[in-house]
Amino acid sequence: MTTPRRADAARNRDRVLTTARAAVAGGDLSLQHNDLARRAGIGVGTVYRHFPNRRALLEALADDGFAALLDAARAASRHDDPAAGVEILLRALLTRQLADPAFAEVIATEPEQDADAATTARRAELGELAHAVLGSARRAGVLRTDLTDDDLRHLVCGTVFALRIGDAPDDRAGRYLRVLLDGLRPGGGQSG
């Protein structure tokens, strides 16, 4: 049984997260504990007590992104149309990474880098749901069979990277997703 946080400790943790979110929104993903402590008006020891390293803080920032993505993956896994399920899953993965740089960094790494077992558990659940969605699409003949689940994860991460190059990534996201989905169909992108 975990003991509840004291009210002041919970407030301090929230202050650190709010300050870190503002830094990330401003384009600063360095998440330097000294700087965050100064901006939050608390001691650096307090920051380290809640988040012993940058990765732990990054994962805490990514919690909401993981929750939203898992909801979308569950919906995709229950969809009657396997092609629509793939689109729901990939759209959610793409848009979540574009909207949340902290989440994008966490999801692009391997589980061995996770600081928190809860992150690893969410990652595993996402992997299981994605595997079910993609397996259903393969069996239905609407997804290329020569691409692995990891291939698709890497392709989405690469698409996010491509969208971040240049202006107005949100304006191009739908078009890039459509190109990606077209290439995932059997025969898609194959020259004959």
Contacts from 89-95 at CB under 8 Å and sequence distance 24+?
Answer: 89/129, 89/130, 89/133, 89/134, 90/152, 90/156, 90/177, 90/180, 90/181, 91/177, 92/68, 93/69, 93/153, 93/156, 94/156, 94/159, 94/160, 94/163, 94/173, 94/176, 94/177, 95/173
Instruction: Kindly report, residue by residue over 166-187, the tens digit of the pLDDT.
Output: 788 888 899 999 999 999 999 8
Instruction: Kindly report, residue by residue over 37-92, the tens digit of the pLDDT.
Output: 999 999 999 999 999 999 999 999 999 999 999 999 999 999 999 999 999 999 99
Residue 92 to residues 5, 54, 96, 191, Cα–Cα distance (Å): 33, 25, 6, 29
Alpha-carbon radius of gyration of the chain: 19
Architecture of domain 59-184: Orthogonal Bundle (1.10)
Q: Which CATH number applies to 1-52?
A: 1.10.10
pTM comes to: 0.87
- Report the percentage of the chain scoring pLDDT > 90: 78
Domain boundaries, the chain: 1-52, 59-184
